[in-house]
Structure 1
Amino acid sequence: MHCCIAAAEMTLPRRIVDCHHHFLAPDEPFHATLGALGAPAYTAEQYAADSAGLPIEKTVHIEALAEDGAGEAAYVDALASRGACKVAAIVANCDLSAPDAAAALDKIQAASARVRGIRYILDYDGPFDGECPTHVACKAHATDYLRDASAAAAFERGFALLAARGLSFDLQLCPAQMEAAAAMISRHPGVPVVIDHMGKPWRLRADGGAADAAELAAWRKGMAALAALPQVSCKLSMLGVAVPGWPAGGAKEELLRGLVLETISLFGARRCMFNSNWHINGAVSNSDAGDVPSDEALTMASLFERFHGWVAHLGEAEREALFAGSAERFYRI
């Protein structure tokens, strides 16, 4: 028995649209960064094995630090076209701040009819050191594209191109950037946006201390600003960033479940979506660092069982939205 859910309630959703996962091809030129980081390959066949027995009907492939967004999109499209995976939509990488962003977007859309959106990782809160919320993807450019005035202006020019192309944006950021993001997004109501990984509140201790209180205050303020915008949705995934070690249960799982339910209440079930973020293994999928021992036994099935247990008290229509319908609407699949 886990702290939140009786064993009898550990069931799976009726159907799943896994709207956030990655294939890794570090030997391919478009994944040169992954190769440099020493990441192992993670293939469509491995994903199929890891998800065996789950009622996954469709998936959405999210870019994985791709240098060449069009190249990665073409690679994933080829896998889907030959039936190696259930990818129905692709979210590609594109540096929207670049002067040639329009041409890059044209190339990406030409690479695959499955492309539905763009992600360019933005979480920056100081120089990358592995201990702060700044993502390793931001290490090279060391730029805050949401709060630095000149960089933000360049990024917004590229962001504005998405609406006319029918593209959405996957927003990966940290809580300190949320109000700036909300201000920018409000100026572009025609661009659907989904927050990745519940906005990534950072390494809560579940000890009731001042550090947790400060982090949660910033997260709540930012999430409220984003939720006020009707075109913004939220993904519920990679939750080990928020509460490391939550799979062990106890106070950590209680805290995390509360934050998940708070997010669903804030956005509504039709604007929230559970997903696996699956790549490599359970520990890495739960948290990029993959360094918490209690996460190592996490399987995709047990992850979705825990998610489903947390929302067992909700109505069938809400659960259907959280595990499938919201993702289908957002990604038009």
Structure 2
Amino acid sequence: MSEPQTLIDSHHHFWALDGSVHYPWLEDEVDDHFFLGDYQRIRQPFLPADIRAQVPEGYRLAGTVHCEAESARSAPEVETAWLAQLAEQQGLPIALVGWAAFADVACEVQLDQQMRSPLFRGVRAKPITAGRPDQYCSTLGVRGSLQDRNWTRGLGMLEERDLSWDLRVPAWHLADAARLLEGYPALRVILNHTGLPWDRSDAGLAEWRKGMQALADNPRVAVKLSELGSPMAAWDEQQNIALLAEAITIFGPERCIFASNFPVTGLNASYAHWLAMVEQAIADAASEARQAILHDNAVRLYRLATG
């Protein structure tokens, strides 16, 4: 019998919804602007046992990287401390990406508090972006945008501390992000969700490819093969597999990592189904890199200790 394929899930979320950590979007009013629409099905606890139960036969989950799940912004260290405790008790996650208020005077304190956890690797802080490409110009230069120097100073704080930045912007902002990162040559960046190619028109995908290439030209940027749900297009499995394969070709297999974005991706596909889609993209674009994309690259990029 062949050995199971080792797997690192480099982007998922846990929440208990028991008061340990407050998640306004899950526990208070529903966010009517959630990018995948109705998310009622995921407004329930999702914990280590739940993600382990999702992994199909033939794989061994060697570890996971938790990405911040938009907990109460007043105290991001609460989620980090809870995750560290969860890891000690249940073995997952083995690393985490937190949050910090880049434009706030508290940012440095928030980073340093979270760095007390040996699991803390970096930050996902989302800039202000346009919800659609035709709204792009309305966000340029506004407070909290990629052009706001007060906000982007947070990137310098990450660079100084050797922390990574999880970058999450829709495709029409990828080129802006690439230009911004020219000013932070030592910053390690992991692009979330395959660059969010929400606009599936020919023009929209051309812009996605241009932005992806601009980021790939920076050797310090990697990409998560994750979440291809779109607020502008129906779920299209074959197109999504093709986009995953393109991302592998653009960045090169050594800078691509598997990620589930569970439980959110579960709104469109099961864990096993999403994993099979990534596997197909690997087979189509870089079959020799299966071990690297499913495990080794995440170990290197997030500096993981795995068994």
- TM-score normalized with structure 1 length: 0.77
8 A Cα contact 2:225 2:244, kept in partner? yes
Deviation at 1:19, TM superposition (A): 0.4
AA of the residue aligned to 1:28: S
- Tell me which of 63, 71, 84 is aligned to 1:77: 84
Partner of 1:104: 110
Structure 1 segment 241-280 matched on structure 2, within 5 A: 241=230, 244-246=233-235, 252-279=236-263
Q: Give the match's secondary structure for 1:180.
A: helix
Q: Relative to structure 2, which stretch is displaced further, 170-179 or 22-31? A: 22-31
Deviation at 1:25, TM superposition (A): 3.3
Partner of 1:9: none
- Output one character per residue of 1:73-104: Cα deviation in whole Å (capped at 9) or x when no partner: 1111111112x143111100112121221111
8 A Cα contact 2:248 2:285, kept in partner? no
AA of the residue aligned to 2:262: W
Q: Give the match's secondary structure for 1:113.
A: coil
Partner of 2:47: 43
Partner of 1:89: 95
Q: Does 2:196 correspond to 1:200?
A: yes
Partner of 2:66: 61
Deviation at 1:255, TM superposition (A): 2.2
8 A Cα contact 1:90 1:116, kept in partner? yes
8 A Cα contact 1:233 1:272, kept in partner? yes
8 A Cα contact 1:119 1:170, kept in partner? yes
Q: Does 2:145 correspond to 1:145?
A: yes
- Output one character per residue of 1:276-308: Cα deviation in whole Å (capped at 9) or x when no partner: 1112xxxx315xxx3xxxx3xx32122212221
Identity of aligned residues (%): 30
Deviation at 1:118, TM superposition (A): 0.4
- Output one character per residue of 1:239-273: Cα deviation in whole Å (capped at 9) or x when no partner: 12288554xxxxx3332222211111111001011
AA of the residue aligned to 1:60: V
RMSD over aligned Cα atoms: 2.5
Q: Does 2:294 correspond to 1:323?
A: yes
Partner of 1:6: none
Q: 1:70 to 1:52 in 2, by over 3 A?
A: farther
Q: Does 2:297 correspond to 1:308?
A: no
8 A Cα contact 1:125 1:144, kept in partner? no
Q: 1:85 to 1:179 in 2, by over 3 A?
A: same
Between the aligned partners of 2:174 and 2:285, the Cα distance in structure 1 is: 28
Partner of 1:34: 26
- Output one character per residue of 1:36-78: Cα deviation in whole Å (capped at 9) or x when no partner: 2453222222222223643210110110002232111111111
Deviation at 1:13, TM superposition (A): 7.5
- Tell me which of 183, 199, 204 is aligned to 1:215: 204
- Tell me which of 262, 265, 269 is aligned to 1:285: 265
Q: Give the match's secondary structure for 2:5.
A: coil
Between the aligned partners of 2:69 and 2:189, the Cα distance in structure 1 is: 18
Q: Give the match's secondary structure for 1:95.
A: coil
Deviation at 1:29, TM superposition (A): 4.3
Q: 1:237 to 1:123 in 2, by over 3 A?
A: farther
5+ long unaligned stretches in structure 2: 31-42, 135-141
Partner of 1:207: none
Q: 1:261 to 1:59 in 2, by over 3 A?
A: same
Between the aligned partners of 2:123 and 2:12, the Cα distance in structure 1 is: 14
Partner of 2:173: 177
Q: 1:242 to 1:328 in 2, by over 3 A?
A: farther
Q: Give the match's secondary structure for 1:311.
A: helix
Q: 1:303 to 1:29 in 2, by over 3 A?
A: closer
Q: 1:123 to 1:16 in 2, by over 3 A?
A: farther
AA of the residue aligned to 1:327: A
Q: 1:313 to 1:199 in 2, by over 3 A?
A: closer
Partner of 1:191: 187
Between the aligned partners of 1:92 and 1:230, the Cα distance in structure 2 is: 23
Deviation at 1:122, TM superposition (A): 2.7
8 A Cα contact 2:97 2:122, kept in partner? yes
Q: 1:72 to 1:119 in 2, by over 3 A?
A: same
Partner of 1:231: 220
8 A Cα contact 1:57 1:86, kept in partner? no
AA of the residue aligned to 2:129: Y
